[in-house]
Each structure stands twice: as C-alpha cells, then as structure tokens.
Chain A
Amino acid sequence: AQSVTQLGSHVSVSEGALVLLRCNYSSSVPPYLFWYVQYPNQGLQLLLKYTTGATLVKGINGFEAEFKKSETSFHLTKPSAHMSDAAEYFCAVGTGGYQKVTFGIGTKLQVIP
C-alpha cells in the first residue's frame, strides 16, 4: 500500500522568493517519486522524478527535490519563484515500472508580484 500527503493545499510566495512544497509518502516497497505541474484545464507535466541513485533530483524550470528516506519526504523547491510558476503541483508515489501511481491532493502555488 502507498499514500502521499501534501502539506498545504495553497501556498503563496512573493516573486523571487523561495518555493517549498512539501510531500511525504508511505510505501511498503522502495518508492518511485514524482512531481507534476498542472496548469488550468490541462494535463500534467512531469517536473522531476526519483527512481534510484542520487537523492537530489533536478528537474525542469529550475525545480529540484530531495528524497529523504529517513523522513519519508520528497519536498519540491525552487530558489526564486517566477510568475509563470503559478500552477497546481502534484506529488506522486509509485513502484518500479510506473505501476499503481498514487497522487497527492495537490498544492496550488500562488506567486505574488
């Protein structure tokens, strides 16, 4: 069984400020972890993923996330928020081969000018 908890359904940051979106997971097997971004009325776009190896994962648009097994966390960060980052972000956990991926409830990021 697996699950994802995203803390904070809404996060507001000022343009240029640090973005931190929190994700904790539970999984009975070594997890594959994903962050997706969704713009209004669109599908999901993969930002980054962790499968194995290096625990700090860099993705597109300047985002990165660190897999911390001891904390069962996979928080998403970006050093400096841009207006175009305003969107909804989903954390997801799966198993090898992208089977049975479970999504979190999503965090809506608002960027204030």
Chain B
Amino acid sequence: GAVVSQHPSRVICKSGTSVKIECRSLDFQATTMFWYRQFPKQSLMLMATSNEGSKATYEQGVEKDKFLINHASLTLSTLTVTSAHPEDSSFYICSAKDRRNTEAFFGQGTRLTVV
C-alpha cells in the first residue's frame, strides 16, 4: 500500500508555543489530506480536510486560527497548533488519498503533550 509519513511521532512543548506537524505522502500524489484528533479511548474526530492548493475545510467546532493547515504541495501537508495549551494535548493523525483512490492511507500519528 501507499506510504504516509508523519513527523514528529512525539512532541512536548510549553504552553503558549506553536508546534508544527508534517504529513508526507512518499509514493503518491496526495490531492486530499485529512487531519484527525484522537482523545484517549475515543474515536478519530475529523478536524479538517485539505485539497492541494486550496484552503482547508474545517469541521464545525474546530478553530481554524488555532489549527493552521497548509497543503501547498501534492506530497506535504502541515498542521500547526498555535499558542498551544494543555487541553490541546492529544494524538493527531493525518491521512492522505490521491484522486483515484477509494481509501486513504494513514500516517503514524503524533502524540502532542503541552506542559
């Protein structure tokens, strides 16, 4: 299957700082990328969908000024958590698909801890 690489796998940051998470498709062109947040013992909640070259579409309740998503190329999307607070601590997962696929491929996830 196609490979999606997410980096970093773990990050600890101080409250008030910003953190950038990268999601790369290694062997296909990701026309669409999805960003999810997963709380402990809960399912994945879709935060936003981004299409290459377009602004991301955020789900209801997700602050677009806090969770900045950039999808400037067909192989890279980034999620920046701005002015992070402890309640932003969570597991963030990206997935990506190309134009043809009926499935998306997931990155390994990023465990964010804000202290």
Contacts and interface: CB of A to CB of B under 8 A. Distances in A.
A42 B43 contact: no
Interface stretch (A13-21, A22-30, A45-53): A45-53
A106 B102 contact: no
A98 B105 CA distance: 11
A97 B109 CA distance: 23
For chain A, which range describes its interface: under 10, 10 to 19, 20 to 34, or 35 or more residues?
Answer: 20 to 34
A41 interface: yes
A87 interface: no
A32 interface: yes
A7 interface: no
A45 B105 CA distance: 8
Contacts of B32: 98
A44 interface: yes
A90 B44 CA distance: 9
A56 to B, nearest CB: 18
B44 A41 contact: no
A6 B41 CA distance: 13
B108 A98 contact: no
Contacts of A34: 103
- Counting from the closest, the 9 A-B pairs by CB-CB distance are A43-B106, A44-B106, A103-B43, A43-B108, A43-B109, A105-B43, A103-B44, A43-B107, A51-B102
